Structure formats: C-alpha cells, structure tokens
Structure 1
C-alpha cells in the first residue's frame, strides 16, 4: 500500500512515528471525450484569454483574488516556507472526545495509519487506550499543502485518521431554502411511518450495497467491446519530408524567377560602328 505521508503523532509525552495510507479509492468509471468526426481524444490547454497564447507551467503564477480582477501574487518561495513551517510540526492530539459527539457532516476522508520504524509499541499503546476508553483523538495535520482538522480512532485492528471540516467550512443549515418549519403530523401517519422503519431496520452490512450504475456501465462497455463497437483514434499526420523539400525547392525556384532581372530589349535605331563604316565604303 502506497505511503502518502510520514510523520509523528504525539499525545502527552508519547511520540508515535507513523506512515499514512489512503483508506479509500475512487472507482468511478472515467469516460474520455472524443472528436465526433475522427474519434481523437480532446485536449484541454491552458490559454491566456487576453494574450491568446498557450501557457507553459513556468508562465503561470499563483494568486488570491481579493476583489474583482484584483490579485495578490504569491511566490512559490513564500508558499514553500509556510508549508515547511507547518509540515515540520508533529501531529499533536489536543483533545479526546466521544465519536458520537461529532456529526457525520464534518467527516471528509479516511486514511490508515501504520507504525513507522520503532513505533510499534507506542502505536499499540494508543490503539489499546482508545479502545478501552471509547474515545477518539482530535488533532491537526498538514496534508497536501492544507492544514487539516482530523480525528484519530480505531477501525478494526488499525488506527485511522479521519479528516474533518472546520466549523466555518460547514454551511449553515439556516441558508438552506424551503426547509419547512415544524408541521402538525397526525398520530396515525406517524405510527405508520415508524412501523415501516421498524420493518426495514437491519444490521449494517456494507458488503450488500453495490454501485448498480457502475456495474451496468462496465457491462455495457464490455458488451460493446466484444461486439467490436469500438473506435480507433486517427494518428496525427506526420509531415512528409520529401514533399516538404519539393515544395520548398519549387517555391524557391518560383521566387528566383520573379526576382531575376529581365534582359533589356535591343535598340533598333542605334547602329554599331561597323555598320556605319560599311555604309560609308559602299
């Protein structure tokens, strides 16, 4: 499993060297966009809309738009300095709370933690302490240039980091439009709804839930592939050097003909000295 982060998690005077691994993966079926005519993949290029020029990475800088079309340019050196300052800090567990105190709306992404060299005993200590107290740790850590609020908890036999949103990242429920106020509900209707919920209540078994859309899409792709309903992108035309050379030679010849000075026409009225002498002799 790929290691995406290495660091130290501490609580009190206990330091645990750990490695972090992504606990989930995106299994969305990615579809490409093709040119309908030649079936070639469509490219998306970075182009300046004012200069109408295609941009390279070295032509692009990062900035913060603090007002309409007003930007503060941020140098890479400044960003690296802040990142290093925060990244060098150990991940410190600052509080321990109960998992049920955190609403699921705060949860973002999960990562597995494994002990790094020399950290197995401290790793096991934290895991055992969390299990027996029923608590989870609240910590801050840097992931991909962003300071994350996170919880550290036990999942089966491993420690897990769950990144969670900061309170100001969760939008206020008061901003949700058309949410009805408390409405008078009939006793019979409520009892029927509760009875239905009870009948559909079951133990959570994640294995029984499947992504039906993804399965159907993959089946459709396989069916079309097996029946040869496929398209092959055309190769980009490679310049023919011979043709280009002949074109260049012909163009040069045509230009030379245009630029070559034309010979001056002979003047019939002008006679040479020899012709004049012959006439005088006769």
Structure 2
C-alpha cells in the first residue's frame, strides 16, 4: 500500500511512529473528453481573462478573496512555514469517546494506520485498550496542508483513522427547504411502512451490494473493444512545402479578391468629383 502520511501518534505519555494508507478507493470509470471531429483528447489551459493569455504555473500565486474582487496574497514561503509548524507536531489523541456518539454525517475518509519502525508494541497496546474499553480516540492531524479532525478506532486487526468534519463544515438541517411536519403522517400508513421495514430487515452484508451501472458500462466498453470500435486521434499533418505554397496562394487570392472589391480612396474621390 502507498504511504500517504508518515509521523507519530501519542496518547498520554505513549508515543509511537505510524504510517497512513488509504483504506478505500474510488472505482468510478473515468471517461475522457475528445474532439468529435478528430478524436483528440481535450486539454484545458489556465488563461488570464484580463491579459488574454495562457498563464504558466510559475506565474500563479495563491490568494484569499475576503470580499468581491478583493484579495490577500499569500506567499508560498508563508504557507510552507505554517504547514511545517503543524506537520512537525505529533498526532495527539486528546479525548476518548463512544463511536455511537458521532453521527455518520461527520465521517469523510478512512485510513489504515500501520506501525512504523519499533512502533509495533505501542500500536498493539493502543489497539487492545480501545477494544477493551469500547472507546475511540479523537485527535487532530495535518494532511495535505489542512488540519483535520480525526478519530482512531479498531477495524478487525488494524487501527483505523477516520477523518471527520469539523462542526462548522456540517450544514444546518434548518437550511434544508420544504421539510414536511411529522403530524402529516397517518397511523395506518405508518403501520404499513413499519411492516415493510420489518420484512426487509436483515444483517448487513456489504458483499451483496454492487455497482450495477459500473458493471454495465464496463460490459459496453468491452463489447466495443471486441467489435474493433476503438478509435485513435487523427495525427496532426505537418505543413509540407507544397502545402505551404498552396496556402500562400490561397491567402494571396483572398487578398486580391478583397482588394478588387474595395475601390481605393483616390478612385472614390474621383468618382464623386465626376458625379
């Protein structure tokens, strides 16, 4: 597994080195966008709308827009300094709570925690303590230039770090429009709904759920590949000397045609005088 973060974690006076590995992956099928005419992949450019030109990476700075079209520019050195100050801190478990006290809306992403060199014994100690207490640890960690709130829990034989949202990142339910009132529910309808829930109640087995759209899409792609329906971009044709001559001839002909259509200023004046 690829290591996405390396550091240490502590609870109380116990500190040990760890590595984080992504516990989940995105298996969405990625579709490219092609030019319909020649089937070349579409590229995207960073363009300045004022200067009307493409901007290179070295000419881009980061800034915070604190009001419409008003920015505070932040230097890379300043950002790196803040990032370094936070990354140098060990991840500290600051609280222990029960898992059921955290609503699932807070959970964002999961990472497997692996002990680094000489961290196995302390790793096993924390895992056992969490198992015996039935608690999870709450901690903070700096990942990819952002401070994250996290919980540490046991998942099978491993410790799992779950990145969770800060409270101000969860929107207020009061902002959801058109929520119906509870008193609109009819008892007979509720009894029927509860019977349906009871009939469909089972033990959760993740293996029974599959992405049917992704499966169907892959089948369609394989069918097209088998039928030799694959395409390649049209290669860009270099301008040969003969092509260049033809091009110049066409341009000159267009110029001559335009010139003939438009009388010169002197001819216009003469025409007016004779009139």
Report the counterpart of residue 21 of structure 1 in structure 2: 21
Q: Give me the CA root mean square deviation.
A: 1.7
- CA deviations 1:185-241 (Å, max 9, x no partner) are 33322221111101100101001100001000010011011111222101233455x
Q: Whole-Å Cα distance in 1 between the matches of residues 10 and 236 of structure 2?
A: 56
Structure 1 SS opposite 2:154:
strand
Report the counterpart of residue 102 of structure 1 in structure 2: 102
Report the counterpart of residue 260 of structure 2 in structure 1: none
Report the counterpart of residue 46 of structure 1 in structure 2: 46
Q: Whole-Å Cα distance in 2 between the matches of residues 103 and 54 of structure 1?
A: 46
Q: Whole-Å Cα distance in 1 between the matches of residues 66 and 58 of structure 2?
A: 23
Q: Whole-Å Cα distance in 2 between the matches of residues 230 and 97 of structure 1?
A: 55
1:199 and 2:199 equivalent?
A: yes
Report the counterpart of residue 151 of structure 1 in structure 2: 151
Q: Whole-Å Cα distance in 1 between the matches of residues 188 and 41 of structure 2?
A: 59
Q: How does 1:267-278 map to 2 (within 5 A)?
A: none
- CA deviations 1:108-159 (Å, max 9, x no partner) are 0000000000000000000000011110000000011000000000001000
Q: How does 1:1-282 map to 2 (within 5 A)?
A: 1-238=1-238, 240=240
Larger Rg over CA atoms: 1
Structure 2 SS opposite 1:4:
strand
Report the counterpart of residue 265 of structure 2 in structure 1: none
Q: Whole-Å Cα distance in 1 between the matches of residues 242 and 61 of structure 2?
A: 42
Q: Whole-Å Cα distance in 2 between the matches of residues 24 and 185 of structure 1?
A: 39
Q: Which runs of 5+ in 1 are unaligned?
A: 251-282
Structure 2 SS opposite 1:229:
coil
Q: Whole-Å Cα distance in 2 between the matches of residues 243 and 14 of structure 1?
A: 78
Moved over 2 A (4+): 184-188, 236-240
Q: Whole-Å Cα distance in 2 between the matches of residues 55 and 225 of structure 1?
A: 38
TM-score, length basis structure 1 = 0.84
Deviates more, 1:180-189 or 1:91-100: 180-189
CA positional deviation for 1:181: 1.9
CA 1:234 to 1:184, structure 2 compared with 1: closer, same or farther past 3 Å?
Answer: closer
TM-score, length basis structure 2 = 0.87
Deviates more, 1:166-175 or 1:225-234: 225-234
- CA deviations 1:221-270 (Å, max 9, x no partner) are 11011111222101233455x669x97xx9xxxxxxxxxxxxxxxxxxxx
Q: Whole-Å Cα distance in 2 between the matches of residues 238 and 113 of structure 1?
A: 54
Q: Whole-Å Cα distance in 2 between the matches of residues 237 and 21 of structure 1?
A: 46
